[in-house]
Amino acid sequence: MKGINKLQAKWGVGPAKFWLIILTFALGGSLSGRLCSYLLKLVFLEKNLVFWLIYPLFLTILWPFSVIFVSFFTGQFSFFKGYLGRVGVKLFGRASAKVEVAPIHVAIFASGAGSNARKIIEYFENQAVSEFFATTESETGGSSRNPVRAAIKVSLIVCNVPNAGVLDIAKEKGIPTLLINKAEFAATGYVESLKNADIHFIVLAGFLWKVPEVLVEAYQAGEKIDAAGNVSRGIINIHPALLPNYGGKGMYGGRVHEAVIAAGETKSGITIHWVDAHYDEGDIIFQADCVIEAGDTPEILAQKIHALEHAHFAPTIEKILLG
């Protein structure tokens, strides 16, 4: 089970999509094996030594085509297109030169112990540089798809509680902090401070204040945030329930789990969503669920939710920023 969770986190997918991917691998392998045997039988009358020497080579050639074919029917084409592309890069390399870009600077807003903040920080510490393809302009005016190397860096911790544990994590990791007060936050959103820190993207990880409209507007995805033309990627939040249920003002932490258990729900989960001017109403980006068993308490449910948060939050951030 631990290995499955690790793979889900690595691929940035939920349980349903994970098993569809595994099914695609299995069906694709089976199809390539059958095709290989059928085609070779047209050439060889018997399975002699040459047959068995050619078989694995031919199977290797057929496998990616079989998997891509099956992926159309399982709905996993985009995943396997990227997966096979990465395998091809490892085997054959890339002909085009890598384009280096400046880090994407992320600010994490948190009010408490900071367990999610720590997981996010450590995830990107261990994956300091990520690669993806982007369209780049040439000096002659043309464009091409080139591999880009980009780093995601947690560059600021923003907190509204002077003694919160997340501040200790920031000190341990050597990350600058910004301690905010409610009146100024409501009035200015500390937009100037965030832009001065070159923040491109904001992550709410257990942050208990409502984000003011001035900050939401300043960090709309695509908004220019400095004179150099760098743009915001937006603001996201993680909520410990399956929105739109059990969200809104006052619904956070243990209160959510108590409400879910009291209602007799059979499942709960997490929702990662864009932040707008209202509590928990932004567009949903990702959800993952867990089963609530008979006898589960709010504390037990909280542990299940934390496991989902730690497995999925950082990979989802990576997917948003690097595609």
Q: Indicate the average pLDDT of the chain.
A: 83
Does position 135 have pLDDT exceeding 60, yes or no?
Answer: no
- Distance between CA 298 and CA 165 in Å, rounded? 22
pLDDT number for residue 212: 95
User: Which comes out higher in pLDDT, residue 30 or 10?
Assistant: 30
Query: Amino acid identity, residue 252?
Result: Y
Task: Give the confidence band of 175 by pLDDT, cuts at 50, 70, 90.
Answer: very high
In three-state secondary structure terms, 283 is: coil
Taking residues 235-247, what's their average pLDDT?
Answer: 95
The answer to whether the beta carbons of residues 109 and 205 sit under 8 Å apart is yes
- pLDDT, position 53: 77
Q: What is the mean pLDDT of residues 74-88?
A: 77
Q: Which pLDDT score, from 0 to 100, does residue 321 have?
A: 86
C-alpha closest to that of 263 among 208, 301, 213:
301
Residue 74 C-beta-side C-alpha neighbours within 13 Å: 24
Query: 176-235 pLDDT, tens per residue?
Result: 999 999 999 999 999 999 998 999 999 999 999 999 999 999 998 877 776 666 778 899
User: Does the global pTM surpass 0.75?
Assistant: no
Given the residues 239, 257, 273, 312, select the one marked as catalytic.
239
What pLDDT was estimated at residue 37? 81
Residue with tokens 């928990």: 280
CA dist 278 → 110, 210, 257 (Å): 18, 8, 21
Domain coordinates in residue numbering, the chain: 2-92, 99-322
Whether 239 sits among the annotated catalytic residues: the reply is: yes
190-241-180 Cα angle (round to 5)? 15
DSSP state of 164: -
* Rounded average pLDDT over 128-133: 50
Q: pLDDT band for position 277 (50/70/90)? A: confident
The rounded percent of the chain whose pLDDT value lies above 90 is 47
Angle formed by the axes of helices 15-41 and 49-74, nearest 10°: 140
pLDDT confidence of residue 97: 47
**Would you place residue 79 in the very low, low, confident or very high pLDDT band (cuts 50, 70, 90)?**
confident
CATH number (1.10.287.80, 3.30.565.10, 3.40.960.10, 3.40.50.170) of 99-322 reads: 3.40.50.170
